Amino acid sequence: MAIGGGGFGRNRREYLIEKYLLSLSNKSLPKVCFIPTATGDNDSYIVRFYSTFLKLNCIPSHIDFFKRTLDFKSHINSQDIIYVGGGNTKSMLGVWKEWGLDKVLQRAYMNGVIMSGVSAGAICWFTNGITDSWNDELKVLPCLDFVDGTCCPHYDEEVSRKPYIEKLIKEDKLHKCISIEGGCALHIVNGKPLQSISFKHNKKSYQVYLLNGSIIHKPYIVNQL
């Protein structure tokens, strides 16, 4: 579940996307683990996670890498859902690879643990992600490659995103891109996009590509919550 922007960090009342995510486990009390590495394990972000998920039917937990770190291998494999927060994707992936979390997550994913996240936590699952980890410009960043393709979050929320993607495609530096708006998530099953989950009014995700010299935005099927 790749969330383009929003969710518990911003809208705290309805929890539409959080409830949808929990429903995917088909369990009455799923275990959901938050990984906030991309913010350097920001305390207020962790508090917001618990303030939301403790109100829902689930068992929440989190993993720190900038404080004392629990035995994450056994913990990850005992979870139903992993939720990765936003922030600096490049720094997050660097920490994960140093600790070996990337390999643990891959094994858990292959064993059926649901992977999800917002922004950095959305793009990290793809072959590549469009990131603002650098202050001066957007870049294409190699990610975990659990899902084939390149993904861009915040497609309608940050004005630099759309022209950057279109420029890369027109210059043949990028063949196509999955672009997800804020307030929308892309539900992926077995590595293939199933549908857009819109938890704000009329939000979408797209396959963006070049056809006969024109940029095409082909929307995925939308499920409006």
Give catalytic status of residue 154 as yes or no: yes
Decide if pLDDT at 11 tops 60.
no
Residues forming a β-bridge with 60: 32
pTM for the whole thing? 0.96
Q: How confident is the model at residue 12 (pLDDT cuts 50, 70, 90)?
A: low
Catalytic residue among 25, 62, 116, 154: 154
Q: How confident is the model at residue 157 (pLDDT cuts 50, 70, 90)?
A: very high
Decide if pLDDT at 9 tops 60.
no
Give catalytic status of residue 119 as yes or no: yes
pLDDT in tens, 70-83: 999 999 999 999 99
pLDDT in tens, 34-50: 999 999 999 999 999 99
Decide if pLDDT at 173 tops 90.
yes
Mean pLDDT, residues 143-165 = 98
Domains and CATH numbers, the chain: 2-224 (3.40.50.880)
Catalytic residue among 25, 62, 116, 119: 119
Cβ-based neighbours of 52, under 8 Å, separated by 6 or more = 8, 12, 15, 18
Decide if pLDDT at 97 tops 60.
yes
pLDDT in tens, 103-140: 999 999 999 999 999 999 999 999 999 999 999 899 99
Question: Judging by beta carbons within 10 Å of its beta carbon (0-12, 13-18, 19+), is residue 100 exposed, middle or buried?
Answer: exposed
